[in-house]
Structure 1
Amino acid sequence: MEPIFALDIGTRTVVGLLMQKNGDGYEIMASARTEHRQRAMYDGQVHDVEEGAQAVRLIKTEVEQKIGYSLTRVAVAAAGRALKTLVASAARQETLPVRWEKEDVLALEMEAVEHALRELAVTAGDAAVSYHCVGYSVIDSWLENQQIANLIGQRGREAKVTVIATFLPRLVIDGLVAVLNRVGLEMASLTLEPIAASHAAIPANMRRHNLALVDIGAGTADIALTKNGSFFAYGMVPMAGDEVTEGICGHYLLDFQVGEKIKRELAHKSQVTFKDFFGTKISVDRDEILNIIRPVVQKLAEQIADSIFDLNQGVPQAVILIGGGSLTPLLPQLLAERLGLPPGRVGIQVRERITGVLGEKGVKGPEGITPIGIGISALEAQGLHYYSVTVNQVQVPIFELQLATVAESLLAAGIQPRSFIGRPGRALTYEFNGEMRVVKGSLGQPAQLTVNGRNARLEETIEPGDQVQFIPGTDGEDAKVRVMDILVLPEGKKITWNGQEEAFCPLLTLDGKESLATDEVKDGSKLIYIGNEDLEALFRQKGLPFNLFATLNLKINGRSLSLTKKRTIKVNGKIVTGNCPIADGDQLEIEETPILVKELELEAAPLIFHVNGQELKYPPQGLYVSWRGREVALEDPVVDGMDLRVEGFKTMPILSELLPLVTLPQQAPASRLVLTVNGQDAEFTTKLHPGDRITVTWG
């Protein structure tokens, strides 16, 4: 196996080493370390590409001088800034029992990571295409529904794995790629710093314990948790050693580099001497500086401890610190206090205690853990293999785990899927004589796509170095339709209707208004068309029911009544009993046998009065029929819609006209007739109204 160049680009320092795998473990063939001249990284994100490239160039040159040949490919790791972590599973079932080899298990793991990607797409929406999968770990494995430590070499029909996959924004990865490209390096493998560090810091046989690994750099503190033999959760705190340095600089008004030097000297000096911004020489006891930085370190310890507790849902058995920031004074003690762990359960792991890593000793202390882990991840093919293609003259990073087709390379380039294929134009829906109709828009034009100059398809596999040219598809036109596109209007006709000549033309209304053939039909429009082809259409245009009987609806004193009268239809003198064509010049006669008012057998109702407590019916004095305030003769025909009022009196009677129908009480001597209407004194000429209460007595 070829050696791997591993590079740890940190916020403060850059460490590089060349590693190879041998029979005893791993060997470091060469290493180098440097610091950024200025702050090129913030919270694990490249902010100054040129400054970051300068540090990487120094490392590359030094390692090349030691080994005697040029380096072109490199394995790197990304910090946990903006990290997204998802858990997903994948299962596969075979018809017959098979032996699950390494390739089969790897394919199953890749499928589980793809499921995590789809879940990320659900939660992040369109932003999901801006994320790269930067690593994963297997949490659990099952064979035939039984949990098993390792599937490789096992035999069975059904296998399942659950992975925890981690994703980083493209911005983080693109920053790393930009730095590497500046110095002529190609990214060969990428993983996440806590994943890489875990391979070096915690042996596999220790991962059955519930441990927390914290990689504390200058800008971020990355966290990884183990339990039951695997890593099951990752997290990140956007605070680390630089916060402590800035606390010293702010208190004494120092340049950042001076503050960083003071922080490092606290580990082995009881008194520190330095010059402030104005050149004043200052000597300070170590304890004084510790009191100054204690609040910042306390805050860092609290954030790390709280994140560990949230990820682990409890306190772990121990915490292992790595990275240059782990040497921050007071941090292990304060972290142990915050978690409630004994001081001996929070410790710093250093390169010197790692077994199985031989060779050059230039990489030392807790800072050497992560670059060694990056090398191990790459040598064991546990990182993500990376290559690049060009899309429309722009280099695009491709991770074999995530992207393999032309379509996916377009996604990686930030091209939206909706531009891959032109969308059809919007359809138009309208209603024609009560029937819903749909007119489709025109089809869109597909995108023009070539790979290395030849026509290609979206599903084709993409290869390293391929040149992709993409012209977006064009959308189709929205549906448009005019009345003339729906129907052809026939010519008008001249007919004679009951002796009157009139035009018989097609009747067309659009959304309730008379329409022309050139009018445009809008989405949701209602089009009503009545032709001029036959007798039925003629009756519909006139609003008449097409049958041999006419229905008359009327009211008599408010009571509804329906009558039917016979209708005779003649076309050109011939009686027709059904629908028939109507030609230009046809003569139509419609004869209806009228119903006379007298045939309604109308009767007037008597007037009801109450005389001396007894009901009295005053008989009608005739039959009087009126409509709309005018008198109707009994010989008049009934007209549809009549509201007839039938009465037996032209005027209301007076009291004297009622008295002949009243049985008077026996007359008393020397008495006179006393009359009242509704309790009021009345005369013989008092006008009465139906329902009046009348008394007639002698008084």
Structure 2
Amino acid sequence: MTKKRCVILSNKLFALDIGTRSVVGIILTEQDGRYHVADLVTIEHKERSMIDGQIHNIVSVAAVISEIKYILEERHGTLKKVSVAAAGRALKTMEGSMTIDIAGTSLFTSEDINRLELAAVQQAQQKLLSSASTTDDYYYCVGYSVLHYKLDGDEIGSLIDQAGRTATAEVIATFLPRVVVESLLSALMRAELEMEALTLEPIAAINVLIPPSMRRLNVALVDIGAGTSDIAITNNNTVVSYGMVPIAGDEITEALSNHYLLDFPVAELAKRSLATEETITVSDILGFEQQAASSEVITIIKPSIEKLASCIAEEIKRLNNSKSPQAVMVVGGGSLTPLLTKELSIRLDLPENRVGIRGLDALSDVTISEGIVSTPALVTPIGIAIAARRAPIHYMSVIVNEKTIRLFELKEMTVGDALLAANIKARQLYGKPGLGMSITLNGGLMTVPGEHGRPSIILLNGKPASTIDFISNGDEIALERGLDGRDASATIRDLIGDYSPIEVTINGREHTILPSIECNGIPVGLDTAVNDRDEIYYSHSTKLNDVLSEIGIENFDPFEVYVNNKSVILENWTPQYIVGNMPVPLDHRLKDGDEVRLGTQTYPSVGEVISSLEKSTLTTASITFNGEPVTMTNIGASILLNGQRVDTSTIVRPGDQLIIQETVQWPFLFSDVFLFIDYSLPKTASTSYQLLRNGEPIGFNDPVYSGDALEIRFGT
């Protein structure tokens, strides 16, 4: 990244990155969204007072912090407050889910969703506390993300205003052990500093390297320090998980130390020079000087590099549902370890250009003062300072049910966050649901649920509040238990609806149609109360065919015939039922006061049946004869009705068998015209005549076609 000389801006911020190998102090200024690194001091621990990112010697760490504070105060004035980060190794992530029954409730509200999410987070917390590897008895929930909402088992984008049988929230929650925070506070107090804000190391690096617009991609960020390698995974527009492996740069330093018999600080300096020097010269613990080519040293420490890469790759896959991400970003001092990115790409099955070291050049809108060396090791300290400015975590104390609770403000804190910290169980947010009933209705099993428990009443400083209301330091929250729901109760009317008798007139006679209801074999009324395991049967159909059957009127069967051995329903000749002045089908539902008349039976001819079937057995020709229009028709088929040959005028009745056999279509002849006209010879006609078609002579057995003009002329 190109260094720029900048004017020191306003809004000075002091931040510390307390790492395993060293402590970095940074002075950051900000104006209009742009950041400037005004000063930076790095001091290594005098002894191994930090192990795997955790403070083990508070006095020693506090001494280093005091030294950094003194140096920076000489340059920038008195420093009273500082922003710090909790080590990524301390973070615990756990998935949780909660499903509730919402059948029969009103539409889902944002308050309902928030209570459901809190219950899912508590389930994750219980899983964490019950895990065998966990000994801490108290955790701060420092954030959670919703993975999925589900309605009736299917994923859905939002539960707002939804209605169904069940609603589910699946979350991934991040927890921080109390001991981590307490040790940080103790070290700062010894250095006469007040914690102004707290952030989390993986969150800090993510915030500066992977903005929200990039988090739709499945990317792993690995911050390799001295004792730990912190990992954060992004996907689907959020940070989905955090993790850590207790192996980092010290593993490589120890390999060098063991092979060449070097004091640890000497081995550390030798390791750092591998990236820039072709040969290294070191003195072992016996005082002998040794010189070796950097390539030879890298070969010696390669097994340790491979071990570090394997541990990081395995943890990335574990956090990423057993698969490799799309890309990996590596930061921190340990990222400069030779061959590390290549070994990571091999173990993650990624191209080498998908695993890259990210330095300060990746930070947009950040400038640094001259004299500060730009290395990947500075990404996390700068990220801590920026994250502390953008999204600081403050302490807050509130009282929940007369008990003082301390919270971390990773965001604007809500009543729900306070209830979570106070370990208020999800079941305490609602009264117990009432007992349900199982009923058999017309042979099918149905459940009548009990009444849902009513939500608890939440009071914030004595006034009604919801779980999403914001809280401030010193607020008092009280929870009044919600009322339990009543046990299920119902009448038959509740189950089947309001079935009133209807009065109808059929063919001039009035009829009353009543519902038929039995409970456990005994006739009952609509207002009869039902009990668990009752068997209920009812019928009250207002369909025309059911009503006709009930009052003993025989329904007209559809007009069915068989054409070439296939059943055919002739709708036009099926008797119709008239309600008012309109024909209706048999499944028409009658209403109170309807008048029904039954139509009369008529029968079609063979020709009408054939026409209704749209069979192409009819040939026609339109001509003129002696100037008058004539239409000639010819059935091009052989027709059998119940085994007998018939013509098109024969009447067809229900159940008849028609066989239609296609025959060869012959053209019309001149002589055929007399079959379709009533023609008599003129009384004064001569014995000589002439047949003409379109003015030309033609014979009696010659063909004629549609459009022809035919005539007979008699001689004089």
Q: Give the TM-score of the pair, scaled to structure 2.
A: 0.49
Query: In structure 2, what is the Cα distance between the partners aligned to 1:364 and 1:161?
Result: 44
Of the three residues 30, 35, 38, the one matched with 1:26 is 35
Q: Which residue, out of 183, 188, 197, partners 2:191?
A: 183
Aligned with 1:269: secondary structure?
coil
Q: Deviations over 1:133-163 (max 9, x none)?
A: 34445657999x9648xx9xxxx76899875
1:8 and 1:465 mapped to 2: Cα distance?
30
Determine if the alignment matches structure 1 residue 120 to structure 2 residue 125. Answer: yes
For residues 559-612 of structure 1, give each alpha carbon's deviation from its aligned partner in whole angstroms, at most 9, with x where no partner exists. xxxxxxxxxxxxxxxxxxxxxxxxxxxxxxxxxxxxxxxxxxxxxxxxxxxxxx
Shift of 1:243: 0.8
Flag the 1:85–1:21 CA change in 2: closer, same or farther, 3 A: farther
Residue 367 in 1 paired to residue 377 in 2? yes
2:202 to 165, 170, 194: 194
Q: CA deviation at 1:122?
A: 4.9
Report the alpha carbon displacement of residue 218 of structure 1 after superposing the two structures with TM.
Answer: 0.6
The answer to whether the Cα contact below 8 Å between 1:138 and 1:162 also exists between their aligned partners in 2 is: yes
1:54 shift after superposition: 1.8
Residue 286 of structure 2 aligns to a residue in which SS?
Answer: coil
Residues 401, 117 of structure 1: alpha-carbon distance in 2 compared, 3 angstrom cutoff: farther
Give the equivalent residue in structure 2 for 1:611.
none
Checking the alignment, whether the CA contact within 8 Å between 1:20 and 1:379 is kept in structure 2 is no
Superposed CA deviations along residues 207-247 of structure 1, whole A, max 9, x for unmatched, are 22111111111111111111122211221111111011011
- Matched residue type, 1:269: E
Checking the alignment, whether the CA contact within 8 Å between 1:351 and 1:363 is kept in structure 2 is: no
Matched residue type, 1:67: H
CA distance in 1, matches of 2:170, 2:388: 22
Relative to 1, partners in 2 of residues 1:85 and 1:327: Cα closer, same or farther, differing over 3 Å?
Answer: farther
Cα offset, 1:303, TM superposition: 0.8
Does 1:294 find its partner at 2:302? yes
| Contact 2:91–2:242, Cα closer than 8 Å, also in 1 | no
Question: Aligned equivalents of 2:115 and 2:304: distance in 1?
Answer: 42
> In the alignment, is the contact (CA less than 8 A) between 1:134 and 1:384 conserved in 2?
no
Select the residue among 228, 233, 240 that pairs with 2:241: 233
| Higher mean C-alpha deviation, range 165-174 or range 256-265 | 165-174
Within 5 Å, which residues of 2 pair with 1:373-412?
373-381=383-391, 383-386=392-395, 398-400=407-409
- 1:53-132 paired onto structure 2 within 5 Å: 53-81=62-90, 83-87=92-96, 112=117, 115-124=120-129, 129-132=137-140
Query: What is the one-letter code of the residue matched to 2:239?
Result: F
1:219·1:241 contact (CA, 8 Å) conserved in 2? yes
In 2, are the aligned partners of 1:274 and 1:281 still within 8 Å (CA)? Answer: yes
**Is the CA contact (8 Å cut-off) linking 1:226 and 1:233 kept in structure 2?**
yes
- Contact kept, 8 Å, 2:248 with 2:308, in 1: the verdict is yes
Match of 1:252 among 260, 271, 289: 260
Per-residue CA shift, 1:271-298, capped at 9, x if unaligned? 1001111111111111221122111110
1:612-631 matches, within 5 Å, as none
Q: 1:242 aligns with which of 243, 247, 250?
A: 250
Runs of 5+ unmatched residues, structure 2 = 1-9, 426-469, 476-716
Partners in 1 of 2:210 and 2:280 — Cα distance? 35
Distance 1:380 1:141 in 2: 29
The aligned amino acid for 2:68 is I
Q: Distance in 1 between matches of 2:215 and 2:48?
A: 36
Native 8 Å contact 2:326 2:354 kept in 1: yes
1:307 aligns with 2:312: no
Does the residue aligned with 2:290 lie in a helix, a strand or coil? Answer: strand
2: CA distance, partners of 1:378 / 1:142: 35
Aligned residues of 1:108 and 1:160 also touching (Cα < 8 A): no
How many residue pairs were aligned? Answer: 401
Tell which deviates more after alignment, 131-140 or 56-65: 131-140
Instruction: Report the secondary structure of 1:27's partner residue.
Output: strand
Q: What's the offset of the Cα at 1:28?
A: 3.1
- Structure 2 letter corresponding to 1:268: T
* TM-aligned CA deviation for residue 59 of structure 1: 2.4
Q: Partner of 1:364: helix, strand, or coil?
A: coil
**Which amino acid is 2:192 matched to?**
G
Note the C-alpha offset of 1:329. Answer: 1.2
The one-letter code sitting in structure 1 at the alignment partner of 2:318 is D
Equivalent in the alignment of 1:356: 365
AA aligned to 2:316 is I
Structure 1 residues 347 and 337: alpha-carbon distance in aligned structure 2, compared to 1, 3 A threshold:
same
Cα pair 2:15 2:82 within 8 Å, conserved: no
* Distance (Å, rounded) in 1 between the aligned partners of 2:280 and 2:473: 54
Conserved 8 A contact 1:138-1:231: no
Taking the aligned partners of 2:253 and 2:113, their CA distance within structure 1 comes to 46
Match runs of 1:484-523 below 5 Å? none
- Give the partner amino acid of 2:121: A
Deviation at 1:251, TM superposition (A): 1.1
Moved more, 188-197 or 76-85: 76-85
Judged with a 3 Å threshold, the aligned counterparts in structure 2 of structure 1 residues 123 and 188 are, in CA distance, closer, same or farther, namely: same
For 1:300, what is the secondary structure of its paired residue? helix
State the partner residue of 1:168: 176
Task: Name the Cα RMSD after superposition.
Answer: 4.4
* Equivalent-residue separation in structure 2 for 1:111 and 1:74 (angstroms): 34
The answer to whether the 8 Å contact 1:85/1:234 transfers is no
3-state SS of 2:89 partner: coil
CA distance in 2, matches of 1:12, 1:77: 15
Does the 8 Å contact 2:66/2:191 carry over to 1? yes
What's the CA shift string for 1:23-82, capped at 9, x where partnerless? 243333433222112211111111111221122222223333333232324232322246
* Deviation string, structure 1 residues 451-509 (Cα, Å, up to 9, x no partner): xxxxxxxxxx999799xxxxxxxxxxxxxxxxxxxxxxxxxxxxxxxxxxxxxxxxxxx
Q: Is the 8 A contact 1:133 1:166 kept in 2?
A: yes
Report the equivalent of 2:58: 49
Change in 2 beyond 3 A, CA 1:157/1:373: farther
Q: How far apart are the structure 2 equivalents of 1:254 and 1:58? A: 28
In the other structure, the counterpart of 1:220 is: 228
Kept in 1: contact 2:93–2:241 (CA 8 A): no
Report the CA distance shift for 1:271/1:138 in structure 2 as closer, same or farther (over 3 A).
farther
8 Å Cα contact 2:97-2:123 kept in structure 1: no
Task: Give the residue type in structure 2 aligned to 1:243.
Answer: E
SS at match of 1:80: helix
- What is the CA–CA distance in structure 2 between the aligned matches of 1:256 and 1:70, rounded to whole Å? 33
Query: Aligned partner of 1:205: which letter?
Result: S
**Is residue 2:326 matched to residue 1:321?**
no
Structure 1 residues 250-283: Cα deviation after superposition (integer angstroms, max 9, x where no partner): 1111111001000000000111001111111111
What letter matches 1:170 in structure 2?
R
Bigger Rg over Cα: 1
TM-score, normalising length: structure 1: 0.50
Which segment is superposed worse, 361-370 or 156-165?
156-165
Match of 2:658 in 1: none
Where 1:232 maps in the other structure, the secondary structure is strand
- Structure 1 residues 400, 69: CA separation in 2 closer, same or farther (over 3 Å shift)? same
- Name the CA shift for 1:304/1:127 in 2 (closer, same or farther; >3 Å): closer
C-alpha separation between the residues in 2 aligned to 1:142 and 1:189? 36
Q: CA deviation at 1:346?
A: 0.9
CA–CA separation in structure 2 for the residues paired with 1:60 and 1:387: 26
Within the candidate set 282, 288, 300, 2:290 is matched to 282
Identity, in percent, stands at 41
